[in-house]
Structure 1
């Protein structure tokens, strides 16, 4: 007989081995596995505390007759933000993103709520309610991105780049096809007053 991955194997439940196999399989099935999920909604707080998502497991359940049964939505799932101390790269998930959930071994509700070491909130173990979201996988190509290439770093955005800093220091030449403005003065369009006509040139800055 050719085995099929879509049907449960015959464990021979009438034998002692079959009974043990069935008991072990029952315990394994009660462990919530890490799995692919799709983001349904996002509660993001901008630059404040990391938000949470509601996700839908993408791999459905099956009954004994191999009929598909969708999972329930999983709510209030903390998501990953690349952060160290007070420095972070903030890219919040969006509805439709595909990612992975990693499931805790114990009920982590208190730890998530207080953000401090805490005892488990219940005797619940390996439950999909106790998970975090890591994305994204299998998503479409982005419209804006930062890309590392062999030639250097590439920044692409259809919008504007806004930098808020006390000072910017660049140890390199800066080349632009557009204009540069400082204090409202255009590098291309500014004029000098108090000059006389002639062939003389002003000195470099």
Structure 2
């Protein structure tokens, strides 16, 4: 390996110690090299997996390896118990926990955060360490493959896609549209409630899913029921003498 390459790796050049300024600059550069600010990290393990319980932690391995003075690549070890970002305000949150294999941005706090994390409050630093990887925080995934479950917000609207299920749970759920709400299922649409109210005309279509209606209990109509153009309330029958009967009483 050339002297120039060795110098680039070690940070020491033939002129590094040629004068007081160069010596001081070399000292400053060596000290700055120990200041960790942010790095790309690969998630190895996660303590939570989409659960509502408190924000978990993860184990992460820095993606950019180290180089020794001879240029030999030395991988970083695993940084354990790293807290990660969850979008939360008070008791409101969007739960999207990182997954093993994600590669994301990890920032390094400037002081020891162990006491503040343990107490979840303002605390004295746990030690005198500064800019140490032990005080890392996983901020967000930045390198990953295409998702199979996602919320897409684009110029054509919002898509919520899941290959498993989508569930909404609340005391009251309101779906409101100025134009149209469409429900479509490949197998069935089940609606269950003690009372189901419909305010509007009902139409049975003649498309591929068209068919009859089956009601297991009594059907009650306050006005009338019409079948094949005949009124259930006002219909008549032919009598034996060729006349017509009176409507149902």
Q: What's the TM-score once normalised by structure 1's chain length?
A: 0.87
Cα drift, residue 138 of structure 1: 1.3
Is 2:66 the counterpart of 1:54?
A: no
Q: Is the 8 A contact 1:61 1:70 kept in 2?
A: yes
Cα drift, residue 33 of structure 1: 2.9
CA distance in structure 1 between the aligned counterparts of 2:230 and 2:108, rounded to whole angstroms = 75
Cα drift, residue 191 of structure 1: 2.4
Structure 1 partner of 2:34: 30
Is 2:162 the counterpart of 1:144?
A: no
Structure 2 partner of 1:174: 181
Deviations 1:162-194 (A, max 9, x none): 111111112213202224322179x98752445
| Structure 1 counterpart SS, 2:153 | strand
- Shift in CA distance, 6/135, structure 1 to aligned 2, threshold 3 Å: farther
Deviations 1:45-68 (A, max 9, x none): 710110000000001111111111
For structure 2, the 5+ residue unaligned runs are: 195-203, 205-210, 220-224, 233-249
Question: RMSD across aligned C-alpha pairs, in angstroms?
Answer: 2.6
Is 2:229 the counterpart of 1:199?
A: yes
CA distance in structure 2 between the aligned counterparts of 1:201 and 1:79, rounded to whole angstroms = 68
Structure 1 partner of 2:201: none
Larger radius of gyration: 2
Cα drift, residue 27 of structure 1: 1.1
Matches within 5 A, 1:67-78: 67-78=72-83
Correspondence for 1:21 among 22, 25, 31: 25
Correspondence for 2:16 among 12, 22, 30: 12
CA distance in structure 1 between the aligned counterparts of 2:168 and 2:231, rounded to whole angstroms = 36
Deviations 1:19-70 (A, max 9, x none): 1111101210221231000000000171011000000000111111111111
Number of aligned residues: 199
Q: What's the TM-score once normalised by structure 2's chain length?
A: 0.72
Structure 2 partner of 1:120: 125
Is 2:119 the counterpart of 1:89?
A: no
Is 2:164 the counterpart of 1:164?
A: no
Q: Which has the higher contact order (CA 8 A, sep 6+)?
A: 1
CA distance in structure 2 between the aligned counterparts of 1:121 and 1:78, rounded to whole angstroms = 16
- Shift in CA distance, 59/182, structure 1 to aligned 2, threshold 3 Å: same
Q: Is the 8 A contact 1:97 1:135 kept in 2?
A: no
Q: Is the 8 A contact 1:37 1:57 kept in 2?
A: yes
Q: Is the 8 A contact 1:147 1:154 kept in 2?
A: yes
